[in-house]
Structure 1
Amino acid sequence: MISPEEVVRTAESIAAIQQEDGGVPWPEGHVDAWNHIECLMAMSVAGLAEPVRRGYEWLARHQRADGSWPMRLVDGVPTELGGETNHAAYVAVGVWHHHLVTGDQAPTERHWPMVKAALDYVAGLQTERGEIVWERDAQGRASTYALLTGCSSIHQGLRCGVLLAEHLQDPQPHWELAADRLAHVLAAHPEAFADKSRFSMDWYYPVLGGAVRGRAAFELLEREWATFVVPGLGIRCVSDQPWVTGAETCELVLALDALGDRERATALFADMQHLRHEDGSYWTGWQFANRKHFPHERSGYTAAATVLAADALLRLSPGSGVFRDVAGRSVFDPEVCGCAAGTGLRVPPHAADEGL
């Protein structure tokens, strides 16, 4: 386990790469809204108020009229114009987290219109079955397919948006319905999503995003534990490569913590500390066959995931439960989509907790 002081140092390594315009880039220089928001969350935990303020100003400045953000920006200029739904949804997680950490009502109210526009964009791309397609392209055309990892993150965004709406007394019941329908599809309809099963994120993200909890979540994680977890090093990014990555490992830590499995969460967090650099930043990954860092970079998003995992384990901030506390309060009725009679319905989320 790292100390609170080391957590702050890691957050400071993110502030050190923040661009003059407030964007927090990938190592190759582009900015996307999802990773940018994750970095703001980590800096919020460490109390780095000014970089966080600038980062939310960046988001407000680059949000488009439809509520989305360009997929990639370089030096503030959009280079990929499609609008990813999971990028848009994550702003609700960031703003709710910032409110939990700081208790500051003013920025929460200021950013509420941005959140509303973003989540309405997301909800508008939900299919009749309940999944949410992954993007609207540069010509305004909705994609024809959905991604399991992206939809799992969107589920968390919708739930955080509902919590923000309740706090601000501006109810958005269509977001809650969208989240309930999405949770059901994530738990019961694997056929709704493009096959990305070689990626570890598709394995644990339904738990991380709060769509699957209770007994079903433990069963889901057990199913591929041996495929992805490399004892002593962390977890693989993809199943077919000898490559562990820090961000994915820390996200699995957050998923385990959300289930109350603190023993395995703590052990995995300790395992990935071999990626820590002396300045507090983190190498993106380790290729354990060649015994080299791969790619040869230290990424802000890896540092951010590390800070959020440390916060969850150490309870450093009032926002440490933002991943634990996003499970839905109701289970979508499978009769609504007609799947109860034999389309492979799994144990519904929270069924174990509800004694079903």
Structure 2
Amino acid sequence: MTTAPAVPGIVTAEQVVATARSIAAVQDADGGVPWPEGHVDAWNHVECLMAMTVAGLRAEARKGYDWLARHQRADGSWPAKITGGVAAEENGESNHAAYLAVGVWHDLLVTGDERFTRAVWPVVERALDFVVDLQTPRGEIVWERAASGAPAAYALLTGCSSIYQGLRCGVLLGERLGDPHPDWELAADRLGHVLAAHPEAFADKSRFSMDWYYPILGGAVRGPAARERLEREWETFVVPGLGVRCVSDQPWVTGAESCELALTLDAAGDRARALAVFADMQHMRHRDGSYWTGWQFVNEAWFPHEQSAYTAAAVVLAADALSDTTPGAGLFRRAGRYAVSVVDAASCGCSHASSRT
């Protein structure tokens, strides 16, 4: 029986369970966990399953993994948006496909249920093969394959940072199951180098806070480079007492980004600031245990006017990491075990061409 995490002085175990139950409350009958507007995407769906697993809602989480198996396409991808069980956007996103491996590895850490892992393993294999097929010669992985089958012309830094973690989790799963995938490991090595050394490989989305912290959260950047990166944009994105901006040019803090920064800080060894950021975002908590998506602090209004399951999921995962409650609590800390140190990116021989915006 899983014990729910509690972060003393910030959230109790009962509050964390209530937050996880707010995710289960919006789960569709077929197992999908939708955005407030009704569509399901595989990445946020997996994040919600991880949170429910942490809180002991195993049946609900497994129902969600069944949903993923049913909706996976022959090429290993999922439609970018699925509404009512039908594809609303046909393109397949690489980071959506890669995140399944993170969820399945997390499930194994928390539950120890290797039989389930083996059952879902073919779904993970197809998903990561889809991802690796979108890797460029330099090493970045383009963000989508269109419905026509054409790969995108550029890569995204946040997406590739999450993909890096997915590939590493896939490698770990393969080793555990006796089915190693050295091609995934090679792909992760190449991607990790590009993430650490070649910012020009990615489209410029620097106004988004996720592009600031995700290379650390996904595990590609750690050590002094991570600390320098965090300090560089701290005042740009962190609003003391409120949380983290979604974008640098708007007075809008969001719960998911705040919790992801808390996870990032914890992974980088900065537990004090992780706790502070996590405490600051608690003003977004709704009385039913769910969380508002964001707060526009100039207009003093919730924006959008919704509580989102993915925000609740980020809260639960941050609470687990900050309390070290479940065996999966160190998932993001351990993501950086293979991070590379880049001394001179100019001498590595890689192309320095810019990505399209």
Q: What interval of TM-score do these two structures reach, taking the shorter chain for normalisation?
A: over 0.9
Answer yes or no: is 1:148 the counterpart of 2:125.
no
**TM-score where L is the length of structure 1:** 0.94
Runs of 4+ in 1 over 6 A off after TM superposition: 332-335, 341-344
Answer yes or no: is 1:88 the counterpart of 2:97.
yes
Looking at structure 2, the residues matched to 224 and 273 of structure 1 have their Cα atoms a distance apart, in angstroms, of 22
> Which of 187, 191, 197 is the matching residue for 1:182?
191
Say whether the 8 Å CA contact 1:159–1:327 is kept in structure 2: no
Summarize the Cα distance change of 1:260–1:333 in structure 2 as closer, same or farther, 3 Å threshold: closer
Answer yes or no: is 1:206 the counterpart of 2:218.
no
Say whether the 8 Å CA contact 1:60–1:114 is kept in structure 2: yes
Once the two structures are TM-superposed, the CA of residue 342 in structure 1 deviates from its matched residue by: 10
Residues 250-297 of structure 1 deviation map (CA, whole Å, 9 limit, x = unaligned): 000000000111000000000000000111000000000000100000
Looking at structure 2, the residues matched to 15 and 175 of structure 1 have their Cα atoms a distance apart, in angstroms, of 33
Q: Secondary structure at the residue paired with 2:61? A: helix
> Which of 264, 272, 284 is the matching residue for 1:275?
284
Q: Which residue of 2 aligns with 1:347?
A: none
Structure 2 counterpart of 1:91, one-letter code: L
Q: Secondary structure at the residue paired with 1:327? A: helix
Once the two structures are TM-superposed, the CA of residue 315 in structure 1 deviates from its matched residue by: 1.3
Structure 2 counterpart of 1:25, one-letter code: P
Which consecutive unaligned segments of at least 5 residues does structure 1 have?
345-356
Summarize the Cα distance change of 1:333–1:273 in structure 2 as closer, same or farther, 3 Å threshold: closer
The within-5 A match list for 1:63-212 is 63-212=72-221
Once the two structures are TM-superposed, the CA of residue 340 in structure 1 deviates from its matched residue by: 3.5
Looking at structure 1, the residues matched to 26 and 307 of structure 2 have their Cα atoms a distance apart, in angstroms, of 11
**TM-score where L is the length of structure 2:** 0.93
Q: Which residue of 1 aligns with 2:255?
A: 246
Aligned CA-pair RMSD = 1.6
The within-5 A match list for 1:313-328 is 313-328=322-337
Once the two structures are TM-superposed, the CA of residue 134 in structure 1 deviates from its matched residue by: 0.1
Structure 2 counterpart of 1:181, one-letter code: R
Structure 1 counterpart of 2:173, one-letter code: L
Say whether the 8 Å CA contact 1:88–1:119 is kept in structure 2: yes
Count residues with an aligned counterpart. 343
Answer yes or no: is 1:227 the counterpart of 2:236.
yes
Say whether the 8 Å CA contact 1:92–1:160 is kept in structure 2: yes
Looking at structure 2, the residues matched to 127 and 64 of structure 1 have their Cα atoms a distance apart, in angstroms, of 22
Say whether the 8 Å CA contact 2:221–2:340 is kept in structure 1: no
Structure 2 counterpart of 1:218, one-letter code: R
Which consecutive unaligned segments of at least 5 residues does structure 2 have?
1-9, 353-357
Residues 167-213 of structure 1 deviation map (CA, whole Å, 9 limit, x = unaligned): 11111011111111111101111110000000000000000000000
Looking at structure 2, the residues matched to 240 and 329 of structure 1 have their Cα atoms a distance apart, in angstroms, of 34
> Which of 41, 55, 62 is the matching residue for 2:64?
55
Summarize the Cα distance change of 1:69–1:339 in structure 2 as closer, same or farther, 3 Å threshold: farther
